[in-house]
Amino acid sequence: MSDAGATPVIRVRGLVNRFGTQTVHDGLDMEVRSNEIFGVVGGSGTGKSVLMRTILGLRAPDGGTVELYGNDVQQMAAADRSSLVRSYGVTFQNGALISSLTVAQNIQLPLREYYPASEQTLDELAELNLGLVGLSPGDGKKYPAQLSGGMVKRAALARALSLEPKLLFLDEPTAGLDPISAAAFDELLLYLHSQLRLTVVMITHDLDTLFQTCSRVGVIVDGRMISGTLDELLQNQNPWIREYFHGARARAAGKEAHG
Amino acid sequence: MTALTLQGEAGGWRLHLQGDWSLAALAQIEAQLAGLPGDMHGTLDCDWSQAQDPAMGTAWGLLMRLGEVGRLEIRHSGNPPHFLQLLQKLEADRRAPPAIAAAPSTVGLIGTLGRWSVLQGRHGQAVLEFFGRLVMVIREAFSRPRALRPSSLARHIYETGVTAIPIVSLIAFLISVVVAYLGAQQLSKFGADIFVVDLVTISVLREMGVLLTAIIVAGRSGSAFAAEIGVMQLNEETDALRAMGMNPIELLVLPRLIALVIALPLLTVIADAMGLAGGGLLSLLNLHIPLVQFVYRLREAVSPTTFWAGLIKAPVFAILIAMVGTYRGMQVRDSARELGRLTTVAVVQSIFLVILADALFAVLFVKIGF
């Protein structure tokens, strides 16, 4: 591995996750370095979301360790949950906006919890986060049910950014979006990544997103992770990876990205 | 701890930012920013060199305040945070197009009343529509028995009826013990202990058996109906059914309605039996009336109509509970909060309607001497 000197943002070692008799992860290793966009791919049922939940400390693994910035997540989850959750931002697959709150209130929710301030300041911060993801202040007054799919994803991103984390987890951020909205989201992500110096871990099946945004990609195959740059993975001989990156859809996405 | 010090005077200002500028200091920084003089102009130089961990939130607060205090030409120095440019750009965008102010609302009391009336009118219309659709589905179902969906019906009879037996039995038993006990306290003053049997049997068979059962079932199953159907609404499952050419009222409402019409009378019979058992037991233990005498007195006190006067109400209550529960479930739209609200409404309204119907039955039975 190159630049081994810096502590990785995320270091997963020998992760094992089981559901009953079914083993999802079997000695999975993963490393995410500072300031990169790391894509996680894998077939259905290979435990992408389980991996994310484990890294977030929402699920105790059956074996192995997960470290965020060199600290063990399970220990942090047990000792001081609030400092753990303040170190990352998360968006969930379907947005997971609280449906009884407006978008602005959704953004203010974690702020209110951790950094009490006046209503005016909170309103300004909501406006800031809406602006960051390209939504207008008027959108903040809407309820999640009144938003389009693309706006829900942006609103969820705004909420994830509200505590100004350095690390962002995105679960299928472009799933269910039309290609234009998805491309706009990719662009937004790249822009925020460069401006805010974020480290991003993204679960995605969208090959366009993968080719456009990710600097490295980890593929979950047989309970383990094979990671590398896209070029490295394109050379990989594993049958599933070959199928994934050399299928018709992948060729189309790759052609677009490279030339 | 001071987060900022202002130096200079009209024309050339210098603002030193120092100490903690992370989000944790938000409230403190906010208070100190509020202390900036109101009318500044000229140039202002922001020195970031001593600000620690500057966060976007606090920097944004600073930009907002500086934008308000006056016409200033602002420069940033001393290694400003990397995101400052982005914030400045956002702030510039923010100032650009003033939103078109909404016309002030001139709607007064009359307007509010009018809106309320229209809303109530629409609501009544929706209830009628639901009722109409349901009646049509029922008519259709009887000409096409497959529409009755036996497996779904069996499941709902089990869930609303069989699983409710323990709680219904327990409550009917305990309430009739309480009635018999308190009744005995009063009646023994007159040496009329034996009339406890009349008191218990008539009150249990005519009123309490069916009413308590209906209220328990409204709480258990009325809420379950509303919540189940409500979640299906939120998941667009009902839309999916419609799109596949199936009628959600036939699939979701009808089985629940029929199941409850079957289950509630049966539960009432059980509640009646448990109520009589409770009364008999208390009479035996507390008043020393042997069971044989209890049964003998019971046959004197009760005419066949007493039992039917209670039981005949059960299907009516069942229809009310099932219709309110399913109707409120079908009304759920958009959010989890609606689901909770309408589930509550379903329970409260069905209990209210059950008691109202019970009162009407009481008047009716007295008039016709039933």
DSSP B236-289: THHHHHHHTT--HIIIIIHHHHHHHHHHHHHHHHHHHHHHHHHHHHHHHHHS--
- CA–CA min distance B90, chain A (Å): 6
Which pLDDT score, from 0 to 100, does residue A258 have? 57
- Other C-beta atoms within 10 Å of A116: how many? 11
| pLDDT at B108 exceeding the cut of 70 | yes
Asked if the C-beta of B337 comes within 8 angstroms of chain A's C-beta atoms, the answer is yes
| Mean pLDDT for all residues in chain B | 88
Encoding tokens for residue A144?
Answer: 């999640």
DSSP conformational letter for A82: H
Which pLDDT score, from 0 to 100, does residue B96 have? 63
**CB atoms A143 and B334 under 8 Å:** yes
Tens-place pLDDT, residues B112-146: 899 999 999 999 999 999 999 999 988 888 888 77
Any idea which residue has 């109400």 for tokens?
A: B313
Encoding tokens for residue A148?
Answer: 């389009």
Q: Pick B30's closest partner by Cβ from A114, A118, A196.
A: A118
| Residues whose CB falls within 8 Å of the CB of residue B358, separated by 6 or more in sequence, listed in order | B207, B211, B313, B317
Which pLDDT score, from 0 to 100, does residue B231 have? 93
Tens-place pLDDT, residues A41-87: 888 888 888 898 889 888 888 999 998 888 888 888 777 777 777 78
Tens-place pLDDT, residues B158-178: 999 999 999 999 999 999 999
How many Å separate Cα A74 from the centre of its chain?
19
Asked if the C-beta of B94 comes within 8 angstroms of chain A's C-beta atoms, the answer is yes
User: Residue B1: which pLDDT band, with cuts at 50, 70 and 90?
Assistant: low
Nearest to B145 by CA among B265, B266, B254: B254
Q: So what's the ipTM on this one? A: 0.78
Average pLDDT on A12-21 reads 90
Q: Is A43 left (phi over 0), alpha (psi -120 to 50) or beta?
A: beta
- CA–CA min distance A250, chain B (Å): 32
Tens-place pLDDT, residues B258-306: 999 999 999 999 999 999 999 999 999 988 889 899 999 988 888 888 8
Nearest CA in chain A to B90: A131
| Mean pLDDT for all residues in chain A | 85
| pLDDT at A259 exceeding the cut of 80 | no
Report the C-alpha gap between A166 and A40 in whole angstroms. Answer: 18
User: Residue A1: which pLDDT band, with cuts at 50, 70 and 90?
Assistant: very low
| pLDDT at B251 exceeding the cut of 50 | yes
What is the DSSP pairing of strand A22-32 with strand A10-19?
antiparallel
User: Residue B370: which pLDDT band, with cuts at 50, 70 and 90?
Assistant: confident
Which pLDDT score, from 0 to 100, does residue A255 have? 64
- CA–CA min distance A74, chain B (Å): 25
Q: Would you state the torsion angle of the CA atoms of residues B276, B279, B285, B289, taken in this order, to the nearest 10 degrees?
A: -80
**CB atoms B61 and A99 under 8 Å:** no
Average pLDDT on B198-205 reads 91
A–B: how many Cβ contacts below 8 A? 65
DSSP conformational letter for A7: P
Q: Residue A113 carries which side chain, given as an amino acid letter?
A: E
Which pLDDT score, from 0 to 100, does residue B102 have? 56
Give me the percent of chain A exceeding a pLDDT of 90.
Answer: 17
- Other C-beta atoms within 10 Å of B350: how many? 29
Residue B333, SS3 per DSSP = coil
Residue B51: strand pairing partners: B19
- B215 or A75, greater pLDDT: B215
| pLDDT at A4 exceeding the cut of 70 | no
User: Residue A254: which pLDDT band, with cuts at 50, 70 and 90?
Assistant: low
Q: Residue A254 carries which side chain, given as an amino acid letter?
A: G
Which pLDDT score, from 0 to 100, does residue B149 have? 81
Which pLDDT score, from 0 to 100, does residue A14 have? 92
DSSP B61-118: HHHHHHHHH--EEEEEESS--TTHHHHHHHHHHHHSSPPPPPPPP---HHHHHHHHHH
DSSP conformational letter for B50: E
Domain at A34-47+82-258: CATH code: 3.40.50.300
Asked if the C-beta of B24 comes within 8 angstroms of chain A's C-beta atoms, the answer is yes
Residues of B in contact with A131 (CB under 8 A): 90, 93-94
Say if residue A71 is exposed, middle or buried (CB neighbours under 10 Å; 0-12, 13-18, 19+): middle
Report the C-alpha gap between B357 and A252 in whole angstroms. Answer: 68
Q: Residue B73 carries which side chain, given as an amino acid letter?
A: E
Q: Pick B24's closest partner by Cβ from A115, A145, A196.
A: A115
Tens-place pLDDT, residues B354-368: 999 999 999 999 998
Q: Is A42 left (phi over 0), alpha (psi -120 to 50) or beta?
A: left
- CA–CA min distance B228, chain A (Å): 18
Structural domains of chain B sorted by starting position, each given as residue range(s) with its CATH number in brackets: 4-95 (3.30.750), 144-368 (no CATH)
Tens-place pLDDT, residues B21-75: 888 888 888 888 888 877 777 788 888 888 888 888 888 888 888 887 767 788 8
Average pLDDT on A30-41 reads 91
| Max Cα distance, chain A (Å) | 57
Which pLDDT score, from 0 to 100, does residue B302 have? 86
Residue A156: strand pairing partners: none
Provide the angle, in degrees to the nearest 10, between the axes of the packed helices A103-114 and A119-132. Answer: 120
**CB atoms A128 and B57 under 8 Å:** yes
- B226 or B151, greater pLDDT: B226
Average pLDDT on A120-127 reads 88
Average pLDDT on A96-101 reads 83
